[in-house]
Homo-oligomer: A and B are copies of this chain.
Amino acid sequence: MQALRCLPGVGPKSAQRMAFHLLERDRQGAFYLAERLADAVDKIGQCKTCQTLTASEECTICSDQRREQHLLCVVETPADVVAVENATDFKGLYFVLNGRLSPLDGLGPAEIGLDKLAERVKQGQIKEIILATNSTVEGEATAHYIGEMAKKYNVSASRIAHGVPFGGELEYIDSGTLSHAFSGRSQV
């Protein structure tokens, strides 16, 4: 039970329920899970190019030569790569920060791999960096930092749009977003 609590969102009650279920009804499932977990921890590491999670040295996206090599989308987590891949028709490459600038938590530029990103931008293949970090305070700060870096290397940088979400009704939107949507309005 104690061990199961390392799963996110699993408290003492859920852990107990899971433990009893596995031991009473699904010992084979438990064995399979143990095996897969050990296997995953052993084999899955970071892609040497983009830092996402992958079982090989370089992930399938980075090694796919058909993707546009001049477009780089910077995201915070491997889960964001999946979200962008599923939602958009983006066909460029990624760079996964595995975090965001958060000096209070001891996360500086080096910890989230920004020096590695700088190296990659310096090589000159990247023409546009799309800043797709979260729209939180830390995410914005990180985007700003990378934007400045892009300027230094004369690479164009763009930030994903902020505003009212799809299907959103003005009445129920938080005031920060609404205010942002107003100031960021565009000519039609």
Contact = CB atoms under 8 A, between A and B. Distances in A.
Contact of A178 (B88, B130, B131, B170): B88
Q: In the assembly, how many copies of this chain are there?
A: 2
Given A134-B170, A164-B162, A174-B165, A157 B87 contact: no
Given A166-B176, A180-B161, A188 B147 contact: yes
B136 A170 contact: no
Nearest to A136: B167
A182 interface: yes
Contacts of A183: 88
A165 B167 contact: no
Interface residues of A, number: 53
A139 to B, nearest CB: 8
A118 to B, nearest CB: 17
A80 interface: yes
Interface centre among A147, A157, A179 (most CB of B within 10 A): A179
B181 A158 contact: no
Interface string A38-53: 0000000000000000
23 contacts: A80-B170, A83-B173, A83-B178, A87-B176, A87-B178, A88-B183, A89-B179, A90-B182, A130-B182, A132-B170, A135-B164, A135-B167, A136-B168, A136-B169, A156-B187, A159-B186, A160-B178, A160-B184, A161-B162, A161-B180, A161-B181, A161-B185, A167-B176
